[in-house]
């Protein structure tokens, strides 16, 4: 089925380790983004991209890197994991809107990350 | 900047009760408005949307009307079921610029039999 695929679903890291969360979509969406979801804080935007080769920071970018070399893939890299990065991470994609209105997101199923 | 306000809950209702979850927003220009639903252990799913003032979005018995004069987009359902238990997020998105999405904090709904 078409959609957004995130891997892995679960991950435990030790403090200081690095890792990459993978996100791929097969809907030819220009827009892709990463969010983290924490209790009582809703969804917070980490990084986003409006097309291959174009990325920008969201609200909480520190400690994370992204790149967008293809339309389909938008990996999120944790450079040196910290316990404060324990969270559920969601990737989302959409088409870019027009003057007639914006499009909604398609979300992946999430990656639950624990940093010990 | 843009912002979305909704109560965190939980909202607890009996089956077949009427549901209202309030959502108000602050935004420049003319954003599109959305409701998303998140079932336990899953990602968010788009529930409904409205792209201009006075539009009504509807899906699966849920409705919301884009009220520009009151900057609101309240979610309603006439008769809730246990299967509607989930977290509901209100969101807005501008159609210009980089089109970032602003989410509310999410409202947890519990429906008891």
Tell which A residues from 33 to 72 touch B, by Cβ distance under 8 Å. 33, 40-43, 45, 48, 50, 56, 58
Rounded average pLDDT over A89-97: 92
Beta carbons of A96 and B99 less than 8 Å apart: yes
Burial class, A3, CB count within 10 angstroms (exposed 0-12 / middle 13-18 / buried 19+): middle
Q: Is the pLDDT of residue B97 over 80?
A: no
Instruction: Give strand pairing partners of A51.
Output: A54
A-chain CB neighbours of B89 within 8 Å are: 42-43
Structure token pair of residue A22:
């993978």
Q: Provide the pLDDT confidence category of residue A1 given band limits of 50, 70 and 90.
A: low
Nearest to A104 among B8, B46, B98 (CB): B46
Which residue, B72, B99, B48, B39, is CA-closest to A45? B99
User: Could you read off the pLDDT of B37-84 as tens digits, one per residue?
Assistant: 999 989 999 999 999 999 999 999 999 999 999 999 999 999 999 999
When pLDDT is cut at 50, 70 and 90, the band that residue B8 belongs to is: confident
SS (H, E, C) A43-95: EEEEEEEEECCEEEECCCCCCEEECCCCCCECCEEECCCCHHHCEEEEEEEEC
Chain A residue numbers touching B103 (CB-CB < 8 A): 42-43
- pLDDT tens-place string over residues A46-72: 999 999 999 999 999 999 999 999 999
Question: Residue B40 corresponds to which tokens in the numbers above?
Answer: 């336990």
Q: What 3-state DSSP class applies to B95?
A: coil
User: Per-residue b/e over A20-30, b at no fewer than 16 CB within 10 Å?
Assistant: ebebbbeeebb
A108 and B CB contact within 8 Å = yes
Confidence of residue B28 (pLDDT cuts 50, 70, 90): confident
Candidate from A54-63, A79-88, B25-34 with smallest mean pLDDT? B25-34
Alpha-carbon distance B3 to nearest alpha carbon in chain A (angstroms) = 12
């Amino acid at each position: 089925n078409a959609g957004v695929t995130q891997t892995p679903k679960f991950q435990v890291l030790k403090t200081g380790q690095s890792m990459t969360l993978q996100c791929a979509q097969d809907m030819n969406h220009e827009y892709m983004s990463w969010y983290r979801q924490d209790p009582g804080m809703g969804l917070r935007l980490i990084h986003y991209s409006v097309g291959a080769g174009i990325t920008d920071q969201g609200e909480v970018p520190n400690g994370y890197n992204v790149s967008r070399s293809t339309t389909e893939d938008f990996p999120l890299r944790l450079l040196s994991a910290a316990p404060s990065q324990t969270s559920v991470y969601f990737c989302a994609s959409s088409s870019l809107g027009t003057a007639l209105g914006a499009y909604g997101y398609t979300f992946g199923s999430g990656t639950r990350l624990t940093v010990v | 900047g843009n912002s979305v306000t909704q109560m965190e809950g939980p909202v607890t209702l009996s089956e077949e009760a009427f549901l209202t979850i309030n959502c108000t927003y602050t935004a420049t220009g003319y954003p599109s408005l959305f409701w998303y639903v998140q079932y336990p252990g899953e990602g968010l799913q788009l529930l409904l949307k409205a792209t201009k003032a006075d539009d009504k979005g509807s899906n699966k018995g849920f409705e919301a009307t884009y009220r520009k004069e009151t900057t609101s987009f309240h979610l309603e359902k006439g008769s809730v079921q246990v299967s509607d238990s989930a977290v509901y997020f209100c969101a807005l998105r501008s159609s210009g610029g980089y089109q970032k999405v602003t989410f509310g904090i999410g409202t947890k709904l519990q429906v008891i039999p």
